[in-house]
């Protein structure tokens, strides 16, 4: 259980760090802003990255999800009722499940159709979200 929680935390921390860095103007792994939008946003007709505030909000939410994994496994402790920790874990599970499934839903595909995002979403982003959903489901079910 600890290994799953730490792995989820590390993965989510790296993703959160990328979101924060993009907010501050990093364009990696693309060459320019338009290329980064096509790679990581994919919204039809969009050519600009979200604002710094939006990127930092996303980074914070993603990092918080990683902390929930650590809480569920008992790696870190906070003075919260166990039920609240479990409910937070269930919420994170639902978010990642929904995002993972969305990658294969026609309405999502229509809204986020830019390439290479659309291809990467089906091949990597969606499956990663589903894998994270499974990890969180396991952590919730084994939370004591």
Question: Average pLDDT by consecutive 10-residue portion of the chain (144 residues)?
Answer: 95 98 96 95 93 98 98 93 94 98 96 96 98 98 85
Q: What is the DSSP string of 52-108?
A: HHHHHHHHHHHHHHHHHHHHHHTSS--S--HHHHHHHHHHHHHHHHHHHHHTT-HHH
**Cβ atoms of residues 62 and 8 within 8 Å:** no
Q: How far apart are CA 68 and CA 5, in angstroms?
A: 9
**Cβ atoms of residues 99 and 56 within 8 Å:** no
Question: In this predicted structure, what is the pLDDT of residue 11?
Answer: 98
Helix, strand, coil in percent for the chain, rounding step 5 = 75, 0, 25
Q: How far apart are CA 126 and CA 144, in angstroms?
A: 29
Question: In this predicted structure, what is the pLDDT of residue 49?
Answer: 96
Question: In this predicted structure, what is the pLDDT of residue 97?
Answer: 98
Question: In this predicted structure, what is the pLDDT of residue 143?
Answer: 84
Question: In this predicted structure, what is the pLDDT of residue 1?
Answer: 81
Q: How far apart are CA 8 and CA 12, in angstroms?
A: 6
């Amino acid at each position: 259980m600890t290994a799953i929680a730490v792995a989820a935390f590390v993965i989510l921390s790296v993703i959160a760090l990328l979101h924060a860095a993009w907010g501050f103007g990093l364009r990696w792994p693309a060459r320019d802003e338009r290329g980064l939008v096509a790679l990581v946003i994919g919204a039809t007709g969009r050519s600009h990255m979200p604002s710094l505030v939006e990127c930092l909000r996303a980074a914070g939410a993603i990092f918080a999800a990683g902390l929930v994994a650590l809480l569920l496994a008992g790696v870190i402790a906070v003075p919260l009722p166990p039920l609240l920790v479990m409910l937070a874990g269930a919420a994170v599970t639902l978010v990642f499940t929904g995002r993972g499934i969305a990658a294969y839903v026609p309405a999502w595909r229509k809204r986020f159709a830019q390439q290479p995002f659309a291809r990467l979403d089906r091949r990597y982003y969606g499956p990663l979200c589903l894998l994270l959903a499974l990890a969180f489901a396991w952590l919730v079910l084994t939370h004591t």
